[in-house]
């Protein structure tokens, strides 16, 4: 028996180095430390800068603190640099006929009898509230020119910047930027500038979709800041 025990002990001493070397060949892995073959990739930093054109035409240049109609009328009577963008009065339909020609009203969508009455009410609305009007500008479309003339607030000036781009959206951004620059240049003008235009033009600069005869009131409060003052409901 003693000889058998000695044999077992000798065998254990013989294989011990092999066991130790096997353990040394399998190092422990820390789960918090990435493997060299799996590099750490930082998430991309989101970009917050816009291209110059995007920055110029974005509605983010607007300060949207809309007032009630009573507050709007009060400001219009005493302020500077205010612009009222009217959508033309009621003209049934959408867009214009396929044979549209700017110089021929018979090829365009025009005011209805109700639309003509509405246009006159819009002018009376401003006169009753003693709103000082400095200029009246209009799209060259016949329904806009007729709306502006029936409002009877002063001589009407055709203003191509207000022309519709409903049929040609490729000019939307450049034309909206021209309108924006005009409003900014109007900052120190005494009295209100009336503009009669189209839904697409008003929506492009204000993000508001007005009804026929409704209006959006805007004002340049700083060299590169346009305030969205509020809205005037159609009459």
pLDDT band at 14; cut points 50, 70, 90: low
Residues 116, 118, 121: CA angle, nearest 5 degrees = 115
pLDDT digits (tens, 9 = 90+) for 44-66: 333 323 333 333 334 435 555 57
- The pLDDT-based confidence of 27 (bands split at 50, 70, 90) is very low
DSSP, res 85: E
Is the model's pLDDT at 43 over the cut of 50? no
Query: Does the structure show a pLDDT above 80 at 105?
Result: yes
Q: What are the residues whose beta carbons fall under 8 Å from the beta carbon of 148, sequence distance 6 or more?
A: 119, 136, 137, 138, 156, 194, 196
Q: Cβ distance 138 to 159 under 8 Å?
A: yes
**What per-residue confidence (pLDDT) applies to 229?**
95
Who wins on pLDDT, 173 or 60?
Answer: 173
Element (H, E) at 218: strand 215-222
Whether pTM > 0.75 for this model: the answer is: no
* Span 121-148, average pLDDT: 98
Mean pLDDT, range 192-221, rounded to an integer:
97
Q: What is the mean pLDDT of the segment spanning 204-210? A: 97
HSE (side-chain half, CA atoms, 13 Å) at 109 = 15
Q: Mind listing the domains of the chain with CATH numbers?
A: 63-232 (3.40.50.1240)
Q: HSE (CB half, 13 Å, CA atoms) of 100?
A: 16
């Amino acid at each position: 028996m003693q000889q058998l025990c000695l044999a077992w002990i000798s065998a254990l001493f013989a294989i011990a180095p092999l066991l130790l070397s096997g353990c040394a060949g399998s190092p422990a892995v820390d789960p918090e430390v990435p493997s060299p073959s799996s590099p750490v990739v930082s998430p991309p930093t989101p970009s917050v800068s816009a291209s110059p054109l995007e920055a110029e035409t974005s509605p983010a240049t607007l300060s949207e603190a809309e007032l009630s109609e009573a507050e709007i009328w009060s400001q219009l009577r005493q302020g500077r640099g205010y612009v009222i963008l009217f959508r033309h009065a009621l003209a049934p339909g959408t867009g214009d006929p396929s044979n549209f020609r700017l110089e021929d009203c018979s090829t365009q969508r025009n005011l209805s009898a109700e639309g003509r009455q509405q246009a006159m009410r819009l002018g009376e609305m401003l006169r009753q509230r003693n709103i000082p009007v400095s200029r009246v500008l209009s799209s060259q479309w016949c329904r806009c020119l007729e709306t502006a003339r029936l409002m009877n607030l002063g001589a009407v000036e055709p203003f191509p910047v207000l022309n519709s781009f409903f049929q040609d959206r490729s000019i939307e951004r450049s034309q909206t930027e021209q309108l924006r620059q005009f409003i900014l240049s109007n900052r120190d003008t005494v009295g209100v500038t009336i503009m009669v235009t189209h839904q697409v033009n008003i929506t492009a600069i204000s993000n508001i979709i007005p009804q026929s005869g409704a209006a959006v009131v805007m004002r340049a409060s700083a060299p590169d800041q346009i305030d969205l003052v509020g809205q005037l409901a159609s009459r």
